Amino acid sequence: MHQLAEREFERRTEALFASLASYLEHQGERGTPGVDRLADPQSVAKELCITAQMSVDDLNRLRRQFALANHPDRAGSDERRNATQRMMIANMLIDREMKRRLSQRPSSS
């Protein structure tokens, strides 16, 4: 049982690091929050890089990381509207994936 838990932990950790590495890889392209960043679901989804292997905890971490890099409070006044739209889209996409994960859990009856 312990080895199984260890393997599962390693698998999740590797998946998280892979998604984080992909996310960080694109951060050099970011520039200033909200500037020249498309506020459409496809662009935000591509930037988030959500994978089927991500757990609810992984998705929560992704939300925090995205907010740190894209939050409207970190954008200039002329970019705030776009940054707000991007955050709304990111939250919607992450919420949808979290609901999907939670609905796939077996019920405890």
Tell me: the pLDDT tens digits for 3-14? 776 777 677 767
Examine the pLDDT at 72 and tell me if it is beyond 80. yes
Burial of 25 (0-12, 13-18, 19+ CB in 10 A): exposed
Q: How many CB atoms lie within 10 A of CB 84?
A: 17
Examine the pLDDT at 33 and tell me if it is beyond 60. no
Tokens of 86: 């991007």
Point out the least confidently predicted range of 15-19, 72-76, 94-98: 15-19
Query: Can you tell me the mean pLDDT for 47-75?
Result: 95
pLDDT (tens digit per residue) in 79-105: 999 999 999 999 999 999 999 998 887
- DSSP assignment of 3-16: HHHHHHHHHHHHHH
- Domain assignments of the chain as residue spans, ordered by start: 2-104
Q: What is the pTM of this model?
A: 0.63
DSSP state of 107: P
Instruction: Please name the residues in contact with 12: beta carbons below 8 A apart, sequence gap of 6 or more.
Output: 53, 55, 58
Query: Can you tell me the mean pLDDT for 41-68?
Result: 95
Task: State the chain's mean pLDDT as an integer.
Answer: 82
